[in-house]
DNA sequence: ATGAAAGCGCTAACAC
DNA sequence: GTGTTAGCGCTTTCAT
């Protein structure tokens, strides 16, 4: 009884042809209400689940994805992202997925616009991008909407857009986390410093949110008396001099750096033989890692650009190929890294 | 020119039929030396790579995996593992993978033996299991080796075995991590307590390794004078009384709990109005989570049983179906959880 | 020793 | 609207 499997079986049950079954499954072509109902009933009854192998065997290479990310030149963060993209590409090309990557310069709006233009020339099935530039990001999303191309945004939130999916971390929350960690490792009244490195304005939304979260933590913690928390934004490249005068006239117990430049502070303090200042920063880049291992930086918060990129791609592929539901907003775990759990994160190449 | 793809193309080039090509690829049947040579040349020339989708479409449901894990009854840790298994099962059954789960009781060796026996009756393509019981684990691996069934071990290391892959965390390292965290949040000379809950002997290797790591950290930190670190193993269920007398006669600044029972200590200290003792423990189970949120537990180290299980299954499937390389040893990241990054870990259901 | 042919479950083009 | 059919690249009979 009922030996055949899959679409054929449900065609028999519903008393229609497999063509019709295909039509209702994919909502394409015309199907009479009657037939549709019967097919859907049969699908439920048999708990039919499509054979993904057969499907992608037939649909080879129909999925083209354009990935638009910052140039990874000397930027380790984006190098890690790129590595994730390559990993994902390897994983999905057996399913006929074509991943085309377009790079742009972090400081050049034009290069971003060029990248998006080139990406659209592919007429991709979907687009993944990092909206470093607000206005141009919105423009791009609008254009994609017009062309009915699904958009996935990652790493940076783009307020006012409504992408298929957003994947990234919660900057405010990461600031709160940094606040808590700082609280745990400093004395209750120790003075704190929040340091921004503002060579590239592109980071400013992140930076502001992180500081907001950081201060928020202490506000909640001690609603009455606030700790003394100083903020400073280092704008030009002469960090050392600025840091020197800063630490001469203050007695900070801890420094929170809102970008990946924690190592600048770490190196400075190491040279000054000032080992008692606690440092918390972001990102597993090599200079930070070195100072973490030496115990000069206490905590790094890891945003995992590699996995963010990988996941952006694979959740999109799963959605496109296999109809798997995709999360509208996928906030990434905030990994806390110390010298003791570092190794399990950096050797984490094999997924 | 040369439009056909795959096996057919190389058949044409070599001037034989696809049947012959198949024979040389799989070294089955009889092939003349002459034909073999020509086919192999063609394979090299075209850089032929088999289409894995087509292959497993034909060989449907030839992959049967037996998963042998502890009963998840009231144990949240193993419930999470089970959830991971179900997720993975859903993901892979479209590829014709059959995942059969066998449960055993954590305290009953017999039930483990029964489970392994049942598992082998399936004649599975591969086996994944948790070696809670040392001797029986070795026996099982030996038997699988004899039957040429690949074995993946997870969660618990099985010394003396040589599985296809091991997936789990490094217990010693997690102890070191706990040591570092404790060091960061207590004063340099504060007295510390290491607490084992030994209701089930099954945990003892883990417990011992964790304590070893914990002490190791302080040894490295202060080679000269060691901190005062007390160890206690709570054996019967009357935890409160034991804890009461313990804390009456000592002045601990921090407690490290080697199992998931940190909440026992947390609840005790909360009732005693003793809020200044720092607590570090393991596992995101609900009672621990509650106390973490309240600030009574400072850190939980998360071993991510859900992802461990998921990854065990999917890396095995990728190996079996798609010939992807599998890591001999895949040490999981040790996630540090505080109240501030907790949410991104517990809501992490969608991969 | 080798070739031809029938599918695996699904999609898409084409007929009616 | 609906059914039929030719493959996707591979494995596996079954002849020869």
Say what the pLDDT of residue A201 is.
60
Protein footprint on strand D: which nucleotides are under 7 Å from a CB?
1-5, 7-14
- With residue B65 as reference, give the H or E element that holds it: strand B63-70
Give the residue nearest to nucleotide D2 (CA to C1'). A20
Centre a 10 Å sphere on the Cβ of residue B343 and count the other Cβ atoms it contains.
15
| CB burial string A56-86: b at 16+ within 10 A, e below | bbeeeeebbbbbbbbbbeebbbbbbbbbbbe
Residue A283's SS3 state is coil
Q: Does residue B219 surpass a pLDDT of 80?
A: yes
Three-state SS sequence of A301-312: EECCHHHHHHHH
Q: Does residue B299 surpass a pLDDT of 80?
A: yes
Length of chain B: 351
Token output for B142 = 């030996």
Interface of A with B in 3-62 (CB under 8 A): 49-54, 56-57
Q: Does residue B210 surpass a pLDDT of 90?
A: yes
For residue A163, which of A145, A151, A149, A146 has the smallest C-alpha distance?
A151
Token output for B138 = 């070795």
DSSP state of A276: T
Q: Does residue A248 surpass a pLDDT of 60?
A: yes
Centre a 10 Å sphere on the Cβ of residue B28 and count the other Cβ atoms it contains.
9
CA distances to A194, A243, B165, B263 from A237, rounded to whole Å, are: 18, 11, 48, 49
Q: Tell me if A340 and B53 make a contact (CB, 8 A cut-off).
A: no
Q: Does residue B351 surpass a pLDDT of 60?
A: no
pLDDT mean over B144-156: 94
Interface of A with B in 68-97 (CB under 8 A): 94-95
The Å distance, CA of A68 to C1' of C14, is 40
Q: pLDDT tens for residues A140-152? A: 999 999 998 999 9
Mean pLDDT of chain A: 90
Token output for B207 = 């417990």
Distance CA B203, CA B156 (A): 9
Q: Does residue B139 surpass a pLDDT of 80?
A: yes
Identify the residue with better confidence: B6 or A288: A288
Closest nucleotide relative to residue A32's CA, C1' based: D1
- A347 chain-B contacts, CB cut-off 8 A: 331
Phi, psi angles (nearest 5°) of residue A10: -70, -25
Tokens 């254009």 belong to residue: A143
Length of chain A: 351
Centre a 10 Å sphere on the Cβ of residue A6 and count the other Cβ atoms it contains.
15
Q: Does residue A28 surpass a pLDDT of 90?
A: no
Say what the pLDDT of residue B196 is.
93
Say what the pLDDT of residue B1 is.
54
CA angle (B276, B342, B177) in 5-degree steps: 65
Token output for A192 = 């704190």
Q: pLDDT tens for residues A78-118? A: 999 999 999 999 888 777 788 999 999 988 999 999 999 99
**Positive or negative, the Cα torsion across A18, A21, A22, A28?**
positive
Q: pLDDT tens for residues A253-310? A: 999 999 999 999 999 999 887 778 999 999 999 999 999 999 999 999 999 999 999 9
| CB burial string B194-220: b at 16+ within 10 A, e below | bbbbbeeebbebbbebbbebbbebbee
Q: Tell me if A338 and B54 make a contact (CB, 8 A cut-off).
A: no
For residue B196, which of B229, B171, B231, B233 has the smallest C-alpha distance?
B233
- Shortest alpha-carbon distance between residue A339 and chain B (Å): 8
Centre a 10 Å sphere on the Cβ of residue B50 and count the other Cβ atoms it contains.
12
- Shortest alpha-carbon distance between residue B236 and chain A (Å): 33
Q: Does residue A223 surpass a pLDDT of 60?
A: yes
CA B240, B244, B247, B248: dihedral to nearest 10 degrees?
A: 180
CB A181 within 8 A of CB A336: yes
Q: What percentage of residues in chain B have a pLDDT greater than 70?
A: 95
- CB neighbours of B150 closer than 8 A, spacing ≥ 6? B125, B126, B127, B144, B163, B164, B316, B319, B320
Q: Tell me if B94 and A180 make a contact (CB, 8 A cut-off).
A: no
Centre a 10 Å sphere on the Cβ of residue A169 and count the other Cβ atoms it contains.
25
Q: Tell me if A341 and B336 make a contact (CB, 8 A cut-off).
A: yes
Alpha helices per DSSP H over chain A: 7-14, 18-26, 33-46, 52-58, 76-92, 109-121, 134-146, 171-185, 204-221, 239-248, 262-271, 286-293, 305-322, 342-346
The Å distance, CA of A7 to C1' of C9, is 7
Q: Does residue B2 surpass a pLDDT of 70?
A: no
Say what the pLDDT of residue A20 is.
95
- B331 chain-A contacts, CB cut-off 8 A: 344, 347
Say what the pLDDT of residue A137 is.
96
CB A139 within 8 A of CB A120: no
CB B230 within 8 A of CB B291: no
Q: Tell me if B177 and A338 make a contact (CB, 8 A cut-off).
A: yes
Of A322-326, B212-216, B221-225, B239-243, least confident by mean pLDDT is B221-225
Say what the pLDDT of residue B66 is.
96
Helix, strand and coil percent figures for chain A, each rounded to 5: 50, 20, 35
For residue B175, which of B256, B277, B279 has the smallest C-alpha distance?
B256
Distance CA A137, CA A131 (A): 5
Distance CA B82, CA B280 (A): 25
Tokens 């990406």 belong to residue: A119
Protein footprint on strand C: which nucleotides are under 7 Å from a CB?
1-5, 7-14
Distance CA B10, CA B44 (A): 10
Q: Does any CB of chain A come closer than 8 Å to the CB of residue B327?
A: yes
Token output for A3 = 């030996």
Q: pLDDT tens for residues B156-206? A: 999 999 999 999 999 999 999 999 999 999 998 899 999 998 776 666 788
Distance CA B331, CA B341 (A): 22
Say what the pLDDT of residue A200 is.
64
CB A275 within 8 A of CB A296: yes
Interface of A with B in 218-277 (CB under 8 A): none
Say what the pLDDT of residue A351 is.
39
The Å distance, CA of A28 to C1' of C16, is 19
- B279 chain-A contacts, CB cut-off 8 A: none
> Could you tell me which residues are beta bridge partners of residue B335?
B302
Say what the pLDDT of residue A318 is.
85
Of A191-195, B3-7, B277-281, B289-293, least confident by mean pLDDT is B3-7
Helix, strand and coil percent figures for chain B, each rounded to 5: 50, 20, 35
Mutate to test the interface with A, among B94, B314, B343 (most CBs of A within 10 A): B94
Per-residue pLDDT band at B348 (split at 50, 70, 90): low
Write out the DSSP string of B273-284: T-TT-EEEEE--
Q: What percentage of residues in chain B have a pLDDT greater than 90?
A: 66
Mutate to test the interface with B, among A213, A333, A347, A351 (most CBs of B within 10 A): A333
Distance CA A21, CA A10 (A): 7
Tokens 């090509």 belong to residue: B21
Say what the pLDDT of residue A194 is.
96
The Å distance, CA of A30 to C1' of D6, is 22
CB A63 within 8 A of CB A96: yes
First to last CA, chain A: 44
Q: Is the CB of B8 under 7 A from strand D?
A: yes
Q: Is the CB of A32 under 7 A from strand D?
A: yes
Say what the pLDDT of residue A181 is.
98
Taking CA atoms, what residue in B is nearest to A170?
B344
pLDDT mean over B136-146: 96
Q: Does residue A349 surpass a pLDDT of 60?
A: no
- A175 chain-B contacts, CB cut-off 8 A: none
Per-residue pLDDT band at A320 (split at 50, 70, 90): confident
Tokens 């039919």 belong to residue: A48
The Å distance, CA of B71 to C1' of D11, is 40
Say what the pLDDT of residue A143 is.
97
CB A112 within 8 A of CB A156: no
Q: Number of H helices and number of E strands within chain B?
A: 14, 12
Sheet holding B151-154, edge to edge: B97-104, B63-70, B126-129, B151-154, B165-168, B329-331
Q: Number of H helices and number of E strands within chain A?
A: 14, 12
The Å distance, CA of A101 to C1' of D10, is 32
Identify the residue with better confidence: A179 or B74: A179
Q: Does residue A239 surpass a pLDDT of 70?
A: yes
Q: Tell me if A336 and B336 make a contact (CB, 8 A cut-off).
A: yes
pLDDT mean over A157-169: 94
- B52 chain-A contacts, CB cut-off 8 A: 94
DSSP state of A165: E
């Amino acid at each position: 009884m009922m030996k055949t499997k899959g679409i054929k079986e449900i065609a028999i049950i519903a008393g229609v042809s497999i063509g019709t079954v295909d039509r209702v499954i994919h909502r394409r072509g015309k199907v009479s209400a009657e037939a549709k109902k019967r097919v859907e009933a049969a699908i439920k009854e048999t708990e039919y689940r499509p054979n993904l192998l057969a499907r992608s065997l037939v649909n080879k290479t129909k999925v083209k994805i354009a990935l638009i990310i910052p140039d990874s030149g000397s930027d380790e963060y984006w190098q890690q992202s790129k590595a994730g993209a390559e990993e994902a590409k390897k994983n999905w090309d057996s399913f006929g997925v074509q991943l085309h990557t377009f790079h742009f310069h972090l400081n050049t709006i034009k290069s971003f616009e060029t990248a998006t233009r080139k990406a659209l020339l592919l007429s991709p099935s979907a687009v993944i991008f990092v909206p470093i530039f607000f206005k141009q990001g919105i423009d791009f999303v609008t254009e994609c909407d017009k062309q009915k191309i699904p958009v996935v945004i990652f790493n940076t939130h783009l307020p006012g857009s409504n992408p298929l999916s957003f994947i990234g971390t919660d900057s405010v929350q990461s600031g709160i986390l940094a606040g808590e960690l700082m609280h745990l490792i400093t004395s209750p009244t120790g003075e704190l410093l929040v340091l921004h490195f503002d060579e590239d304005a592109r980071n400013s939304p992140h930076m502001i949110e992180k500081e907001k979260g950081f201060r928020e933590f202490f506000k909640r913690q001690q609603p009455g008396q606030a700790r003394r928390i100083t903020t400073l934004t280092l704008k030009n490249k002469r960090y050392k001099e600025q840091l020197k005068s800063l630490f001469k006239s203050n007695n900070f117990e801890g420094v929170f750096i809102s970008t990946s430049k924690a190592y600048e502070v770490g190196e400075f303090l190491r040279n000054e033989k000032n080992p008692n200042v606690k440092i918390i920063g972001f990102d597993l880049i090599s200079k930070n890692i070195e100072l973490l291992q030496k115990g000069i930086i206490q905590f790094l918060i890891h945003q995992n650009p590699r996995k963010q990129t990988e996941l952006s791609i694979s959740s999109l592929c799963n959605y496109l190929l296999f109809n798997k539901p995709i999360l509208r907003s996928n906030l990434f775990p905030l990994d806390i890294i110390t010298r003791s759990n570092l190794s399990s994160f950096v050797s984490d190449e094999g997924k």
